[in-house]
């Protein structure tokens, strides 16, 4: 949304750094406001493969508001980004904001047996140790994190382990060095749904109870359908739990997609119960091993399966891979991120 000159003058000016695979999203964020200036980093490697990084114009950042747009798309890119993330707050900046649209280990938060490694907790500890800047703790912006329950506690290894076991590990622990801001992509979906010619015939479907718990309050003015998985022998089968999709354009909503198997099975159930059309929305289109191809195959049945498949640009490698491929559409987080940088 365009800002008036008076509104623009009241906002803080933010210097936005970014990881290379986020460049398109970073440029879209900067285009939202004249108070966001893109800055660059030289990302190089020594001969042994370790990072050789240089932050351009670092001496000019003193007293400035600084942000970094990160993408933890694989374990191989996290270390070099953390090296920058840990340094920027120490350059005498007025404030530091880390934008991590997709928290990649969010679905690995449970320790059901002794010896299970909850890598979600590991990553949250790494982010908790971001140095404090002159302006105070780091602001950490994350979209639609997978965990159902979120609490903020000061790091204490033994206490956290004991409490996480009791709470069944559906929690993330960030210490006092970071201020997590949990945002959602659902407003983008609602805006897009209102633009559809059949906007008055939309029903929201949740593929499981977890998705319902995360999103139903944000979509409570829509009629809803809930599916769930039941065990039949050695198989887990998707069933319709409640609601009526008959004759409606049903939109399946979840936080992320990996292989897409659950969405496909859910679509089949909804179609069997009379849904006129089925679409899908996920905030994070992870799609490892090009699993998005399952939704673009050209046989007659798959063409009719999903009318639309909306994702955000939280996973930039996926965005590039699915560009101009039906049924995919990208809903950009750029405006929301620009707003978050002003908090």
Same domain, 39 and 164: yes
The string of pLDDT tens digits covering residues 251-261 is 999 999 999 99
306 inside domain: yes
Predicted local confidence at residue 203, as pLDDT: 98
What pLDDT, in 10s, does the model give residues 204-232? 999 999 999 999 999 999 999 999 988 77
Identify the pLDDT of residue 154: 39
Between 90-94, 201-205, 228-232, 247-251, the lowest mean confidence (pLDDT) is in 228-232
Q: Is 205 found in the same domain as 170? A: no
CA distance 42 to 19: 10
Residues 177 and 207 in one domain: no
State the pLDDT confidence band at 182, using cuts at 50, 70 and 90. very high
Name the domain count of the chain. 2
CATH number at residue 293: 3.40.50.2020
Return the C-alpha torsion angle 23, 24, 25, 30, nearest 10: 80
Domain extent for 172: 14-143+150-183+335-341
Q: Is the pLDDT of residue 104 over 50?
A: yes
Residues 179 and 49 in one domain: yes
Lowest mean pLDDT among 160-164, 183-187, 192-196: 160-164
Pair (26, 37) in one structural domain: yes
Q: Could you tell me if 248 and 302 lie in one domain?
A: yes
d(CA 141, CA 125): 15
> Mean of the pLDDT values across residues 285-298?
91
d(CA 228, CA 223): 17
Give domain status of residue 258, yes or no: yes
Q: Confidence band (pLDDT; 50, 70, 90) for 147?
A: low
Q: Is residue 92 part of a domain?
A: yes
* pLDDT digits 0-9 by tens, 231-247: 776 677 899 999 999 99
Whole-number pLDDT of residue 169: 35
- Flag whether 9 is in a domain: no
Q: Is the peptide bond before 327 cis (omega within 30 degrees of 0)?
A: yes
Tell me whether residue 112 is exposed, middle or buried, using C-beta atoms within 10 angstroms of its C-beta: 0 to 12, 13 to 18, 19 or more: exposed
Would residue 4 count as lying in a domain?
no
Q: Give yes or no for residue 12 having a pLDDT over 90.
A: yes
User: Quick one: pLDDT at residue 10?
Assistant: 78
Is the residue at 328 inside a domain? no
End-to-end CA distance of the chain: 16
pLDDT of residue 230: 80
> Which run of H or of E encompasses 13?
none
**Could you give the CA distance from residue 227 to residue 205 in angstroms, rounded to a whole number?**
7
Question: What pLDDT sits at residue 9?
Answer: 63
Retrieve residue 212's tokens: 């319902």
Same-domain check for residues 157 and 67? yes
Do residue 176 and residue 266 come from a single domain? Answer: no
How many degrees, rounded to 5, is the angle at CA 108 between CA 213 and CA 234?
80
Residues 306, 275: one domain?
A: yes
pLDDT for residue 336: 98
Are 20 and 124 contained in the same domain?
Answer: yes
Is residue 324, in this structure, part of any structural domain at all?
A: no
List the structure tokens of 174. Answer: 């960030």
The whole-model pTM stands at 0.88
Measure the CA–CA gap between 20 and 317, rounded to whole angstroms.
Answer: 11
In a domain, 75, yes or no: yes
Whether residue 150 has pLDDT greater than 70: no
Residue-level pLDDT at 166: 33
Count of CA atoms in the C-beta half-sphere (13 A) of 184: 15
41/102 same-domain check: yes
Does one domain contain both 67 and 134?
A: yes
Residues paired with residue 17 on neighbouring β-strands, in sequence order? 68
- Confidence label for 67 from pLDDT (cuts 50, 70 and 90): very high
- Mean pLDDT, rounded, of the chain: 88
Region for residue 103 given its phi and psi (left: phi exceeds 0; alpha: psi -120 to 50; beta: otherwise) = beta
pLDDT tens digit sequence for 315-340: 999 999 999 999 999 999 999 999 99
């Amino acid at each position: 949304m365009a800002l008036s000159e008076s509104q623009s003058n009241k906002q803080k000016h933010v210097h936005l750094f970014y990881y290379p695979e986020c460049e398109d999203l970073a440029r879209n964020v900067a285009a939202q406001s004249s108070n966001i200036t893109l800055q660059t980093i030289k990302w190089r490697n020594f001969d042994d493969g370790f990072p050789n990084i240089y932050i351009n114009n670092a001496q000019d950042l003193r007293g400035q508001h600084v942000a970094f747009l990160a993408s933890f798309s694989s374990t191989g890119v996290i270390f070099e980004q953390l090296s920058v993330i840990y340094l920027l707050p120490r350059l005498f900046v007025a404030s530091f904001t880390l934008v991590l649209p997709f928290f990649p280990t969010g679905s690995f938060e449970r320790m059901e047996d002794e010896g299970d490694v909850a890598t979600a907790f590991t990553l949250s500890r790494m982010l908790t140790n971001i140095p404090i800047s002159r302006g105070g703790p780091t602001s950490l912006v994350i979209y639609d994190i997978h965990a159902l329950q979120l609490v903020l506690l000061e790091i204490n290894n033994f206490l956290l382990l004991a409490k996480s076991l009791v709470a069944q590990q559906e929690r993330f622990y960030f210490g006092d060095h970071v201020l997590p801001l949990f945002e959602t992509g659902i407003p983008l979906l609602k805006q897009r749904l209102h633009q559809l010619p059949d906007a008055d015939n939309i029903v929201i479907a949740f593929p499981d109870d977890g998705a319902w718990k995360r999103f139903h309050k944000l979509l409570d003015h829509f009629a809803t359908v809930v599916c769930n998985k039941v065990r039949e022998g050695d198989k887990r089968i998707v069933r319709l739990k409640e609601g009526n999709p008959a004759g409606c354009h049903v939109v399946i909503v979840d936080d992320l997609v990996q292989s897409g198997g659950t969405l496909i099975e859910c679509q089949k159930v909804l179609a069997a119960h009379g849904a006129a059309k089925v679409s899908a929305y996920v905030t994070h289109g992870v799609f490892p091993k090009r699993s998005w191809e399952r939704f673009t195959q050209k046989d007659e049945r798959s063409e009719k399966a999903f009318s639309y498949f909306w994702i955000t640009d939280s996973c930039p490698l996926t965005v590039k891979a699915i560009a101009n491929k039906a049924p995919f559409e990208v809903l950009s987080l750029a405006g929301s991120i620009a707003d978050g940088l002003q908090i």
